[in-house]
A and B are shown apart, each in its own frame.
Chain A
C-alpha cells in the first residue's frame, strides 16, 4: 500500500509544475496545458483522500472537475483558434489590446 503522503507529494509537485508553467510560459497552449496540469494535481489529491478515508464524495468531485475541465477545454481551444485567426500569434504578451 502506497502511503497517502506520496500521493499528496506527487499532487503538490504536479500543481507546482502547473503554477510555474502558467507563470513562465508565453505560449497560450502551453499555459492551457499548465492549467490542466494544476487541475489534475488537485484531482489526484481528491482521489487519494477519497481512497484513504473511504469516502466517495472525493471521487464524485473528481468527476465534476473533469467535466468542468472538458467544458473549459472546449471553450478555451475555440478561443485560442479564434485568437490565432485574428492575431496570427499564440504569444499571450502580444494579445494585449485591452491593456492601456
Chain B
C-alpha cells in the first residue's frame, strides 16, 4: 500500500468543470464553455496518464485518504481513493474514451440551445464515474454508482421537452433504483457481518472463509444482491429494459454512458468483489447464467430492430452479457479485457452512428439510409473497423477479448461456450446488417427538401434543426471525425494488449484470491490445440454471420422481407422485443399505477386523510355558523346572557347543595 496524493484530483477536476459550466455557462460564450469542459476533462486524462506512467505493480495498490466521513463506534467510512491494476484500467478507459467523446460532443451539440448544460452534465458524469472507479470502499463507490445514475437520468432526459425523452430518463432511473436497492442491502450485510465497507478490510475478512459449497449462506446472499445491483446498472436480465429507451438521449451520451463507461460499472463492481464471488459458487453460477442468457436474448432482439441506435443498444446489452459470463466462470480479467475493448469499439460505433444521424439530419431509421459510404467515407471506414472488431474478426480488438471469454467459458461448461458462439454469430450478422443497410446500396432517404423540411424527423431532434435545411447527406466536421479515427485505431490495436495473456498477468494481483479457486476447477484442459480449434470456430461463425448479412442485405435485399413474412409470429415477437416491455407494463407498472390511483390516492389520501381535514373544518364552520348569532352587538342581550349564566350557576349550586 503506497499513498498517492494525486488520486483525488482525478475525479475532482471534472467536477470543477461541471460546476463552472453549470453555474456560469448560461452567460458565457460557447467557446468558453468548450474550453472549460475540454480542459478539465483533458487534465483528468493527462493526470490519469501520468499516474499510469508512474504506476508500478511492485508498489501497488496506491491509496489516498481525502477526509473522514462517518465515524460510529468501530465502524468508519472515509472519503478514500484506491488504485490497483483493475482501477487503473478503468481509469484510463473512462478518462481516455470520455475525453474523446467530449471532443466529439463539441461538434455534435454545438448548435443545441442547452450546450452549456450538456457539457456540464457530461463533466458531472465523469466526476461520478471516476469516483466509482477510484473508490476505496463500497460506500464511496455507491456515491459514484448513484451519481452516474443521476447523470445518466439528466442526460437521457436532456431534451426534456420531448415526452419520450423525459419518460425514458425516468424509466432508467427507476429501474436502476431496483438494482441499487439490492446493492444497498448487500452493503448492510457487509456492515453487519464484517463491520466495515473498506475493500481491504472486507476482503481480508472474506479470504479465510471457505467456499460455500452447500449453496446458501452469507457470501452467496451478498453476491446475489451485488448481482442485482450490477444487473440494474449494467442492463442485464431482468433489468435491461431501460437501456434501449435510454437511446432517447443525445448520441454522445449513448456512446459515453450507455456503451463505454457507466453500463460497465456493474462488471467492474462484480470484478472488484471477485473475492466474495469466488467463495459463493451459487452466486457465480447465477452471474454466468444471467450473462449468458442476456447475451443471447439481446442479440436476437438486435436482429429485427430498424433504429440504428436501438440495434447498438441491444448489442451493448448482449456484449455486457459476455462480460458477466466471463465473470461468472471466474475469468474476471477476460471480462475486464472485453470491457476495455468494448469501450473502444462500441464507443466508436455509437459515435459513428451519431455522425450518420448528424449527416442526414436527425434520421435514425436504417430503412431510410443506405449508400452513405459515398457521402461520408470517414464515418464508413471507422464504423467498418468497429464492426469488424465487435464481430470478432481477427486481428481487431473484439476478437481477442471475445475469444478469451469463450475459451474460459468452455473450460467452465460447454453450454456457456455454445451459447456464446451462437451469440457471436448473431452479433456478426446484425452488425453487418446494420452496415449494409446504412452504407450499402442506394440512398433511400428524401434527398431534396425545402429549407426547413425535416421538422418531423421524429427521434433525434438534435441541435441543428433550426439552422440549415438538409439536402444531401454530408460528412461530419473534423472535430467529430478525429475521435472516430482515434477510437478506430484503438479498436484495431487494443486487442494486442491481451496477446500472450499479458493483460491477465497484469491484473493477476487483483484477482489473486480468485485465481486460486478458479485454477482448481479448470485445471484439466490446458491443451493448446483445443484452444486454436475453438478460436477457429469463433472466427468462422463471425465470417458466416457476415456472409449471411451480405446475402440477405446486399445481394438479395428483397429476401429479408420475405423471410419475415414467412416467420411472421416469430418476427413480430422479435421486432417487438419479445413483448417484455408490455409484460412489465402489465405485471408491474399497471397494477402499481392502478393500486396507487384507486387505493392510495382515491381511498386513502382523498378518502381518509383529506376527508379528516376537510370534515373537521366543515364541522367547525357549522358550529361557528350557529354560535355566532349570540354575538349580536346588542349590549342588553349580552347582559341577558350574563344574567342567565349567573342564574344557571346559582341554580346548579342550589341543586348541588340540596343533594
Contacts and interface: CB of A to CB of B under 8 A. Distances in A.
Interface string B619-644: 00000000000000101100110010
12 contacts: A19-B639, A19-B643, A22-B636, A22-B639, A23-B636, A23-B639, A23-B640, A23-B643, A92-B635, A92-B636, A99-B633, A100-B633
Interface residues of A, number: 6
Interface of B: 633, 635-636, 639-640, 643
A73 to B, nearest CB: 19
A11 B633 CA distance: 30
A90 B633 CA distance: 19
Per DSSP, chain A at the interface is helix
Contacts of B636: 22-23, 92
Contacts of B639: 19, 22-23
A15 to B, nearest CB: 10
Interface in A6-57: 19, 22-23
Contacts of A19: 639, 643
Contacts of A92: 635-636
B414 to A, nearest CB: 97
Per DSSP, chain B at the interface is helix
Contacts of A99: 633
Contacts of A23: 636, 639-640, 643
A22 B640 CA distance: 9
B654 to A, nearest CB: 12
Nearest to B636: A23
Given A19-B639, A22-B636, A22-B639, 9 more contacts: A19-B643, A23-B636, A23-B639, A23-B640, A23-B643, A92-B635, A92-B636, A99-B633, A100-B633
Contacts of B640: 23
A30 to B, nearest CB: 12
Nearest to B650: A12
Nearest to A26: B636
A83 to B, nearest CB: 14
Nearest to B632: A99
A19 B639 CA distance: 8
A22 B636 CA distance: 8
A100 B634 CA distance: 11
Contacts of A22: 636, 639
A92 B638 CA distance: 14
Nearest to A31: B636
Interface in A53-100: 92, 99-100
A92 B635 CA distance: 9
A35 to B, nearest CB: 10
Contacts of A100: 633
A23 B643 CA distance: 9
A26 B366 CA distance: 99
Nearest to B646: A19
B405 to A, nearest CB: 90
A22 B639 CA distance: 8
A92 B636 CA distance: 10
A98 B633 CA distance: 10
A92 B640 CA distance: 15
A19 B643 CA distance: 7
A19 B640 CA distance: 8
Contacts of B633: 99-100
**Residue of A19, A92, A99 most packed against chain B (CB within 10 A):** A19
Contacts of B635: 92
B651 to A, nearest CB: 13
Nearest first, the 3 A-B pairs at minimum CB distance are: A99-B633, A19-B643, A23-B640
